[in-house]
Each structure stands twice: as C-alpha cells, then as structure tokens.
C-alpha cells in the first residue's frame, strides 16, 4: 500500500490543500508534499494525527475491502473435462463455492452422463440450452428438452444423462454450492 497516495486521495476528497492539512496537523506543507509522493514515511503518531484531521483512523485506513466482482467474462471460466463420462463442467463464476449458489454450464457429449450425486442439503435448478437430457432423481426419470428447465430438492440420488444424438448443454445452479 502506498500510504502517501491514499492520504492525498483522502485530503482531496475533503477539499483541503496541502497547506490546510499541514496547518491542522501542525506539520509543514513540504512534509505533506513529501509524504503524498511517498518520499517519506510518517511515524505512527503523525499518521494518527493526519488521519484524525481527515476523519479516519488507523484501522479504517489500513482496512482495504476488496471490491466484489460483478461481471464475469470468458477468461474467468474454469473448465474441468471428465472424458471417461463424456462431460465438461464450465465454472462460469470463479470461487462461487464460497457463495450461496454455484452456477455452471454442463456440456454433455452424446451418451455423456454425470456421476450419480448422493443426497445432500439444498436445491438444484437447470435450464437446457441445447439438446435434451434425462434427469434421474431417485427412481424417477424426466426428459428435459431445449428451452425447458428443472428444479428439485437434493434429498435423493440424482444424475443427468444426454438422451439425444447431439451434444447437450445445461445451465445448472446448485444451492448451496456442491460442484
């Protein structure tokens, strides 16, 4: 972290000149100038005085919150290929397993099939983007075609299989994350 540039940003947000900040902190304008250009480092006591004048504190000053990513692009996607089962998982939101829900895009080749998932807490939703699939939940089977969706609680074993002769693609969302 560059302390000086952050102090300068805060000073400018308050609409203060270097001289005005220096006067309030009983420092020189030259010292503030050097500090803002990271040519010198303040003592803890001096930093506390400056931050007091800027309406902040040492803990607030050093607590930088990382901005949450909102938009995800193709370069963010992580792909896992499971060739022996004939499917590919595209994690379209990186680190979604740390969130409340986890969206993926599932690509299934002809006769591709996911492993049977054991019962677990939560719900799953899917929207078939291309092709058609066979959704198995417990002993029940459901054929879901392009443009159709499914939603179920994950209290029974479940799996998806490509039931067509061409590739299938499903937008699949799990809550809580389980992929």
Q: What backbone torsions phi and psi does residue 85 show, to the nearest 5 degrees?
A: -100, -10
H or E element at residue 133? strand 132-137
Check whether residue 110 and residue 49 sit in a common domain.
no
Q: Is the model's pLDDT at 6 over the cut of 80? A: yes
For residues 63-71, give the mean pLDDT.
80
Is the same domain home to 47 and 101? no
CATH for 9 = 1.10.260.40
String of DSSP letters for 57-71: -HHHHH-PPPPPP--
Structural domain includes residue 68: no
Q: What is the CATH number of the domain that holds 132?
A: 2.60.120.10
Is 80 exceeded by the pLDDT of residue 64? no
Establish how many alpha carbons lie within 13 A of residue 96's alpha carbon, considering only the half-sphere containing its beta carbon.
Answer: 23
Whether residue 31 is found in the same domain as residue 78: no
| 113, 57: one domain | no
Residue pLDDT, tens place only, 31-42: 999 999 999 999
Residue 129 counted as domain residue: yes
- pLDDT number for residue 3: 92
Total of domains in the chain: 2
Domain end position, chosen among 41, 62, 83: 62
Average pLDDT over residues 170-179: 88
Number of H helices, E strands in the chain: 5, 9
Q: Is the pLDDT of residue 112 over 90?
A: yes
Summarised one tens digit per residue, pLDDT across range 142-155 is: 999 999 999 999 99
- The pLDDT value recorded for residue 26 is 92
Enclosing domain of residue 149: 74-175
Whether residue 73 contacts residue 129, with contact meaning beta carbons closer than 8 Å, is answered with no
Residues 85 and 163 placed together within one structural domain of the fold:
yes
Does residue 27 lie within any of the structural domains? yes
99-112: average pLDDT = 93
Residue 67 domain flag:
no
């Amino acid at each position: 972290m560059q302390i000086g540039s952050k102090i300068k940003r805060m000073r400018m947000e308050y609409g203060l000149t270097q001289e005005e900040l220096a006067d309030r902190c009983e420092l020189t304008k030259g010292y503030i100038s050097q500090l803002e250009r990271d040519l010198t480092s303040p003592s803890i006591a001096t930093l506390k005085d400056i931050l007091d004048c800027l309406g902040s504190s040492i803990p607030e000053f050093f607590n930088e919150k990382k901005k949450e990513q909102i938009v995800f692009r193709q370069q963010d996607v992580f792909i896992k290929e499971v060739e022996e089962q004939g499917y590919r998982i595209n994690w379209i939101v990186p680190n979604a397993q740390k969130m409340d829900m986890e969206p993926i895009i599932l690509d299934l080749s002809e006769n591709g099939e996911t492993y049977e998932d054991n019962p677990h807490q939560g719900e799953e939703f899917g929207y078939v983007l291309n092709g058609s699939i066979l959704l198995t939940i417990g002993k029940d089977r459901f054929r879901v075609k392009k443009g159709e969706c499914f939603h179920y609680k994950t209290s029974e074993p479940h799996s998806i299989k490509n039931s067509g002769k061409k590739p299938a693609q499903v937008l699949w969302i799990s809550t809580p994350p389980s992929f």
